Amino acid sequence: MTTDRPLRLFETTSRLVFAAIAAVLMILALVLAGDAIVQCLLAFARGEDVGDATLAGIGYAVVAVATFEIAKYLVEEEVIRGSEKRVAAEARRSLTRFIATIAIAIFLEALVVVFRVGKEQVPQLVYPTLLLIAGIVVVVGLGVYQRLSASVEDAVEARDAAEEDAETSKAESRGAERTAGRGRAPARGRRA
């Protein structure tokens, strides 16, 4: 009982820290999104090129979405659920959704940079090209992870089902033996 209390205190503290970090991330995501809108409006009011401000705003919005998704992931997985046991398929889906959001953010950022730099500074297209390659690597890695984890899940489920069937068969055979044993006892009594 004394070791249970420090563990609960640690779990509660961990949840509070994750909640605080998630709140800060959500606030920063909203600030980024708000700044994107303000910069576009200011460019329009000043009569400047709205296209550049819009591209910068899209970049900010993409980062804001990715940041918000990280905060959401922290809240769902660490604050609400904490240390409860998770089914492998559920954890895989959650991680897949999270990584997919990050990959989309990488691709969108690469596209924004391509449009921004591609107009005048062609030699600087190396950066968005590397971002696109990084996004592709993330998606391919996610696909490999999905494939391997699904295969492992299937194998574990098959093994668990076989073990459960074996235990059920043993229990049924023990029950049959007991029933047969009860049926023989009166027969022996009659012979005597």
pLDDT in tens, 30-69: 999 999 899 889 988 988 888 888 888 888 888 888 889 8
Non-local CB neighbours of 71 within 8 Å, separated by 6+ positions: 21, 22, 23, 25, 26, 29
Q: The whole model's pTM is what? A: 0.63
User: Among 76, 104, 91, which Cα is nearest to 15's?
Assistant: 76
**With 0-12 CB in 10 A as exposed, 13-18 as middle and 19+ as buried, what is 90?**
exposed
What's the pLDDT tens digit per position in 13-27? Answer: 988 999 999 999 999
The predicted model gives 106-110 an average pLDDT of 85
Please compute, for residue 72, the number of CA atoms within 13 A of its CA located in the half-sphere on the CB side: 14
User: Among 1, 2, 83, 71, which Cα is nearest to 31's?
Assistant: 71
